[in-house]
Amino acid sequence: MPLPKPPAHKAAILDLADAEAPVAPRPARRKAKETVARLLTPQLFDDSPQALEASAARPAPSPAPSAAISPAPVTTQASAPVGRASATPAPAPAPARTPTPANPTARAPAPAPAKVAADTRPAAPRATAKPIPAPAPAPRSARARAEPSGPSKLFVLDTNVLMHDPMSLFRFAEHDIFLPMITLEELDGHKKGMSEVARNARQVSRDLDALATEGSLDPKEGIPLSKTGHRDATGRLFFQTTFFEIKLPAGLPQGKADNQILGVVQTLREQQPERDVVLVSKDINMRVKARALGLPAEDYFNDKTLEDGDLLYTGMLALPPDFWELHGKAMDSWQHGGHTYYRISGPLVPSLLINQFVYLETPGAAPLYARVTEITGKSAVLKTLRDFTHAKNSVWGVTARNREQNFALNLLTDPDCDFVSLAGTAGTGKTLMTLAAGLSQVLEDRRYSEIIVTRVTVPVGEDIGFLPGNEEEKMGPWMGALDDNLEVLARSDSSAGEWGRAATNDLVRSKIKIKSLNFMRGRTFLSKYVIIDEAQNLTPKQMKTLVTRAGPGTKIVCLGNLAQIDTPYLTEGSSGLTFAVDRFKGWPHSGHITLARGERSRLADFASDVL
């Protein structure tokens, strides 16, 4: 039984090459079909005996099964745009593709039209398929764009860069590093001691020894920096092995180490005029002198997490006023455990992070305060917050006075958040809320065994010298903020008498341990509530040392004000607090909030703004 006519035109079986080719864009396909129709038009109205003889074979039902058996895209694909007259060219390629000597007389005069149809019809899909895989050699174009950039740069490192970041040797990607001999001499002079600078100098010396151990040291070829396993460093390391005749202005002393490094940079630029020789130093005055002499100099930026402190993750996001109109149509909501959950999907989801707070405050409507608890594909789940601004939800007698404090208390009291960071100006309530949440979870909820408080002992002014007593007594003067906040928390309990407050203070003191940062190496805290105060003065390495001390059931809270950094060579972009906030954002067990409103006093608020 012959197949119906419409399915015969629509059911097209592609050739193997055409089936594997990507689908062409819609305009290209339309253009290809028009080309095929234009090429086939002369054959449709051909009144030659060959065409009439081919059209006489149309009623036979054999073309449909043959098209199904032999994958011939020539007949079926070309017949799709032709319409009613598509049966005329259909039998023409059949004798050409099936080597049956049934009609030798019909094949003899018809090779020219059949060959044209066979050559032109598959040309359309191939012509449309060929441009599609063209993006495959895209890496070549990327390499071609990278090739004209010229030779790699040659960076001359100052000693303070190596002592600031011992891994700076491997932070310059494909560029080369040059170390003057005076740099090695200065490293040797700073390697003794227990300070952070001495440890970094020893680490750099070990890395240089590992690079220069195997094989002969060829001054011209240099040492590949990827030799010790740092695959990102594809450049080479060069040492100064010959004496450079330094020509500097007479006003600069020749014996000073900084001036000798400047002379090395100047000599390298004269010896290698085709390369960019750049001095990298953390010393501002040295960079100024280099630029005054016409030498390019740069700061070491790889230690900076952010170029601008204003780009720091704040932990919260204001919802647009049309949030309900854009996301309310396909929103699911349910209640569980006293909280309302919303599952949203829309244009806002890609910009959300786990444990990020969102809020919508519209005049005349109830505000929405929620936290992102789940992100799955194109949907996110928002969970409403516990209102700590109400007195019934107070934490150790402390209630939130603004929106950011409410967000912070939700993080501090959440047992699933193992790492919490709070940043803000002076007087925003960071230490008070953290201490209140810690005492509530240690003494009331029994979630943690004790509170451990530590901070960096960096003085604001001149050092007062050695302090008497044991570790906790030595740390006492540095913990004045802790004592002040404990006094505030003790006053909040007005129901107890004087004896009751004294007993409570003794109990609170017994659950708070003050530890020095210098003795944290190798420790493990189990079920502890750890408070790291003044975390803005920590380096990223010190922050990593402290956070990795956490054992099972431990919560770490980092507090800091990026506007009050006292550690030399640290900025807002390179602080350990900035480093931790940027690395932990989006982790399901961490959260961050930047507090903006001061609540200490009107005097403190005004001073923070104008001074």
Summarised one tens digit per residue, pLDDT across range 333-347 is 999 988 999 999 888
| Residue 282's CATH number | 3.40.50.1010
| 457 vs 361, higher pLDDT | 361
Judge residue 406's burial from the number of C-beta atoms within 10 Å of its C-beta, 0-12 exposed, 13-18 middle, 19 or more buried.
Answer: buried
Span 186-198, pLDDT tens digits? 999 988 888 888 8
Lowest-confidence pick of 73-87, 198-212, 344-358, 551-565: 73-87
- Does residue 142 fall inside a structural domain? no
- Does residue 140 fall inside a structural domain? no
- Does residue 173 fall inside a structural domain? yes
Same domain, 574 and 448: yes
Q: Note down the domain range covering 358.
A: 310-384
Q: What integer best gives the mean pLDDT of the chain? A: 76
Closest CA to 487 of 504, 511, 510, 474: 504
Task: Grade residue 22 by pLDDT with cuts at 50, 70 and 90.
Answer: low
User: In angstroms, rounded to a whole number, what is the distance separating the alpha carbons of residues 22 and 14?
Assistant: 12
Give the dihedral of Cα atoms 310, 316, 322, 328; nearest 10 deg. Answer: 150
- Does residue 139 fall inside a structural domain? no
Same domain, 379 and 399: no
Contact indicator for 238, 220 with CB cutoff of 8 Å = no
| Residue 350's CATH number | 2.40.30
| Structure token pair of residue 124 | 């359309």
- Does residue 159 fall inside a structural domain? yes
Span 505-526, pLDDT tens digits? 778 888 888 888 878 888 899 9
Same domain, 237 and 158: yes
Same domain, 404 and 551: yes
Task: Kindly tell me if the per-residue pLDDT of 274 is higher than 80.
Answer: yes
Same domain, 344 and 475: no
Task: Kindly tell me if the per-residue pLDDT of 363 is higher than 80.
Answer: yes
Q: In the predicted model, what is the mean pLDDT of residues 428-438?
A: 92
Task: Grade residue 470 by pLDDT with cuts at 50, 70 and 90.
Answer: confident
- Does residue 304 fall inside a structural domain? no
Same domain, 488 and 592: yes
| Structure token pair of residue 388 | 């700590």
Same domain, 193 and 330: no
Domain finish residue from 384, 405, 439: 384
Helix 430-439 / helix 480-491 crossing angle, nearest 10 deg: 60
Percent of residues, the chain, with pLDDT higher than 90: 36
Same domain, 533 and 577: yes
Q: In the predicted model, what is the mean pLDDT of residues 139-159?
A: 59
Q: How many CB atoms lie within 10 A of CB 353?
A: 17
Same domain, 112 and 243: no
| Residue 508's CATH number | 3.40.50.300
Task: Report how many domains make up the chain.
Answer: 4
- Does residue 517 fall inside a structural domain? yes
345 DSSP 8-state letter: E
Same domain, 121 and 205: no
Task: Kindly tell me if the per-residue pLDDT of 216 is higher than 70.
Answer: no
Q: How many CB atoms lie within 10 A of CB 214?
A: 8
Which residue reads 């560029």 in tokens?
Answer: 175
- Does residue 138 fall inside a structural domain? no
Same domain, 96 and 221: no
Domain finish residue from 350, 384, 418: 384
* β-strands 154-157, 176-179 pairing: parallel
Same domain, 505 and 560: yes
Which of 131-145, 223-237, 480-494, 508-522 shows the highest mean pLDDT? 223-237
User: In angstroms, rounded to a whole number, what is the distance separating the alpha carbons of residues 555 and 100?
Assistant: 83
* β-strands 223-224, 236-239 pairing: antiparallel
Domain finish residue from 369, 384, 399: 384
